[in-house]
Structure 1
Amino acid sequence: MDTLIGIKGKDFIVLGADSYCINSIIKLRNDDNTKFYDINGKKCLLLGGSVGDRTQFGEYIRKNIHLYQYQNSTDMYVKSFAFYTRKQLAYYLRRNPYEVNCLIAGHDNQSGYQLYWCDYLSNMDAVNKGAHGYGGYLANAILDKYYHENITLEEALLTFKKCFEELKKRFLLTQISYELRIMYDDKIETQYVTV
């Protein structure tokens, strides 16, 4: 029941997720912060799925990226980070699958800002906008309508607000509290939004 949304502009990325922890028909928490995994201030992994899979897979990826950087004395490119995450999902798909959907974002000097969409079956693609979860069915239509190639940060935040208002009005679950990660100028800023 998670809602994950991402928009990439020329010099920024905005990621958003509802702040609820839900199991079946039970709301467990209203302030869940286990969906975002910031890595070195330049990369972010946004996960949706059951809280156990999210936590285990997110920590596994974060710790292995740190191990790679420690062993090689270099930072991993965003594209390499995305493909590593996809490879791990594919590896565990036939063993002990993690049922998580991902939005992978980051910035490096080689390729600038990048956003990747990856589902629990390890299908992945580089995208400019994307959404996961049941809320994604409604959010994708709004992203298609308001996204354009030269979108500014203000327009992206307004598009997120329109997505959140549409979810509040039409989605079965009441999702009124969201957490945003705004990546720009080589930093990640956190905002909390209540609709």
Structure 2
Amino acid sequence: VTNRSMDPYDYFTRIPVFGLIVCNECKYCVWPKDVAGHLSGPHHKLKRAQSQEIASAVHRWRGLTRSYEELQVPYTVDKPINALPLYEDGFMCIKGDCRKIFRGRPVIIEHWRTEHKWTVTERQRKGRAGRPGKTEKDIVQRRFEAATEKVLYQRFFPSRYSSQYFRKAEQKFQEIEKRIRTRIEAGEKDEANPWLERTGWAKYL
């Protein structure tokens, strides 16, 4: 906010159903007790008196969730929360009852190694690994796909408490494909290709 407005709604958007507030510029939630420090920090650089005045106004808002002990992070949401970024590179672990979401392939592979004591590169049972025409890479990819589900996801906080990801229910892959095609047709093919390869969407095009 360049004009140094003193209206707290110029800095924060409320999520009433969860009692949270999202910084309009940073795109993540801020606890009410941290508002003054957030606004006077290196990103916003408001003067101390200004940040404290805005924080006082925020503290008067009713229905706020004021600590992580009061917050129940959802497992899924039917619709994305507009004030938060919606990420498209999520993998949800579906081994056993695990439904944790991870951003990117390397992170979920490390999760399997440390929490499930399992890896996609384990040797297959005799009779499966030796199928004609199936390379080791093919087997690893099949094992990876069998243990994951691609998801769209969001989160409230960037780190520490209540920072786990939650998914958007009822994925619509066609909408994602349409956005990708639009980018390519608009002349962004060179920029889109690395993203397609990284997220695994290239094979759907």
- Which bin holds the TM-score, normalised by the shorter protein? under 0.3
Question: TM-score, structure 1 length as denominator?
Answer: 0.24
Higher strand share: 1
Larger RCO (alpha carbons 8 Å, 6+ apart): 1
Q: Which structure has the bigger radius of gyration?
A: 2
Question: TM-score, structure 2 length as denominator?
Answer: 0.24
